[in-house]
Amino acid sequence: MNILLLGSGGREHALAWKMKQSTLCKNLFIAPGNAGTYLVGENVQIDVNDFNTQKQFCEANQINMVVVGPEEPLVKGIFDFYKNDETLKNIIVIAPSAKAAQLEGSKSFSKRFMQRHNIPTASYKEFTKANFEEGKKYILQHSLPIVLKADGLAAGKGVVICNNTNEALQTFEDMILHQQFGAASDKVVIEQFLHGIEVSVFVLTNGKNYSIIGHAKDYKRIGEAETGLNTGGMGCVTPVPFMNNSFMQKVEEKIIKPTIKGLQDENLVYNGFIFFGLMNVQGEPYVIEYNCRMGDPETEVVMPRLKNDLVALFVAVGKNNLQNITIEYNEGFFATVMAVSGGYPSKYKKNFPIYFNNELQQVDSIIFHAGTKKENDIIVTNGGRVLAVTSQGSSITEAVKKSTTALQKISFEGMYFRRDIGFEFV
Ligand code: AMP
Ligand code: GLY
């Protein structure tokens, strides 16, 4: 098969690395890719949202499968574009329809969907300019902390957790009256704060059947012991000790099955990943959010743990026979540790050369590239999150230690990483 993968982060390097191991994968192209995907396939300079140029590329290179990494093309309707095009409609596209992608693209859509299907989630109300005053009253009588969410996509920044009422009122005003997140915050979801431990569960579905391909715990704060600013994710571990059979069964019965049934009942066409962002509240799972893609850096541990052939799984999604597949996992624990640029998640610089010590050839960690690019044969930094180093171990501690040891053999100006990923499971 000839496969086109869209995206350029650590998630895409991990997906490319996994797909390349499949005997079904002939030519693998990554658009636009990074200096890591360059090692496993051919990078092509096409924007993830430029569907017309992708069409020309797919025709010229006899592409059989398109795998979509990030959320923006999903919400912009990439699935519908391919399926409505005479020459592209037979390509397997791993993505939901634009309508179904609203599960990620609109917090209001996803909250209403969960309510219709009795899926446990935090209680909430939604507001616009039209009922702004009512929203202020709602905040004044609400318990603290309180969570404000811009309805639309806001590059992962649209959620604000407020610890006092004044901060919540100010944030609410900034979002609705001053368009803090542009049109994405014309509507705001205000919800109850859930106390618990977060975990992400990943499912592949054709809208009827599903396979759970893994789960992971993400460490989102920049500082050790989960302190400081929120980031896209500083590291991940899998499997997570509290994800035992009894908790997983609750996740399946109360969340995954009603979600898939909801897609079916509402004729929401879906051929891709569902990322369930969950909160474990005293042993009960609640949905914090749906994403219609894999997580980053969750993919960097979920893919190494997954034993199955990923391309075969995608074919099963496309051909509606996921029910015949059994998911298998590799032994042990997996951890990834993210190396970021100095200053991230605030201002940071790019284009610093990255030095890889030769001793890295002796370690069995996998170096996934996130924000990197090749410039005149030198690999340089090209983003806030630069590299994710994944290792396997017989415990979470051992896996993390292997990654941090490998990271000591890598350097670039201003490089920073957390040494305490998985700290609560030591
Ligand atoms: P999101 O941008 O939707 O991923 O949300 C960012 C983060 O905010 C989540 O990963 C949670 O850590 C936190 N969060 C969102 N909603 C809630 C909630 N209702 N209760 C507690 N934490 C939340
Ligand atoms: N690591 C969280 C996300 O991908 O949304």
Residues 134 and 231 in one domain: no
Which amino acid would we find at residue 120?
P
Q: Mark 164-200 as b/e (b = at least 16 C-beta within 10 Å).
A: eeebbbebbeebbeeebbeebbebbbbbeebeeeebb
Q: Residue 329 burial (CB < 10 Å; 0-12/13-18/19+)?
A: middle
202 falls within a domain: yes
Residues 157 and 243 in one domain: no
- For 141-180, the pLDDT digits (tens) are 999 999 999 998 887 778 889 999 999 998 998 888 888 8
pTM, two decimals, is 0.96
Residue 294 CA, closest ligand 2 atom number: 4
The total number of structural domains that make up the chain: 4
Residue 288 CA, closest ligand 1 atom number: 16
E strand or H helix that includes residue 269: none
Ligand 1 mean position to 93 CA, how many Å?
29
Ligand 1 mean position to 150 CA, how many Å?
12
185 has pLDDT over 80 = no
Mean pLDDT computed over 1-24: 98
E strand or H helix that includes residue 371: none
Residues 158 and 251 in one domain: no
What CATH number is associated with residue 128?
3.30.1490.20
Provide the pLDDT confidence category of residue 301 given band limits of 50, 70 and 90: very high
208 has pLDDT over 90 = yes
Residues 405 and 361 in one domain: yes
Ligand 1 mean position to 237 CA, how many Å?
19
Query: What is the residue with the minimal CA distance to atom 2 of ligand 2?
Result: 295
Residues 188 and 203 in one domain: no
419 falls within a domain: yes
Mean pLDDT computed over 222-228: 95
Residues 179 and 202 in one domain: no
Residues 178 and 222 in one domain: no
Q: Extract the tokens encoding 40.
A: 């496993």
Q: Extract the tokens encoding 300.
A: 């960097």
Ligand 2 mean position to 49 CA, how many Å?
20
- For 311-341, the pLDDT digits (tens) are 999 999 999 999 989 999 999 999 999 999 9
Q: What is the pLDDT of residue 154?
A: 81
Q: What is the pLDDT of residue 187?
A: 87
Residues 311 and 346 in one domain: no
Per DSSP bridges, beta strands 221-223 and 227-230 are antiparallel
340 falls within a domain: yes
Residues 128 and 160 in one domain: yes
Residues 286 and 228 in one domain: yes
Q: What is the pLDDT of residue 182?
A: 77
Q: Residue 3 burial (CB < 10 Å; 0-12/13-18/19+)?
A: buried
What CATH number is associated with residue 55?
3.40.50.20
Its domain, for residue 310, covers: 197-324
293 falls within a domain: yes
Q: What is the pLDDT of residue 156?
A: 72
Domain limit, last residue, from 88, 109, 138: 88
What CATH number is associated with residue 358?
3.90.600.10
Mean pLDDT computed over 362-383: 95
Torsion angle defined by CA atoms of residues 380, 385, 390 and 394, in that order, rounded to the nearest 10 degrees: 150
Residues 173 and 202 in one domain: no
Q: What is the pLDDT of residue 59?
A: 97
**What HEC string does 325-370 produce?**
CCCCECCCEEEEEEEECCCCCCCCCCCCECEECHHHHHCCCEEEEC
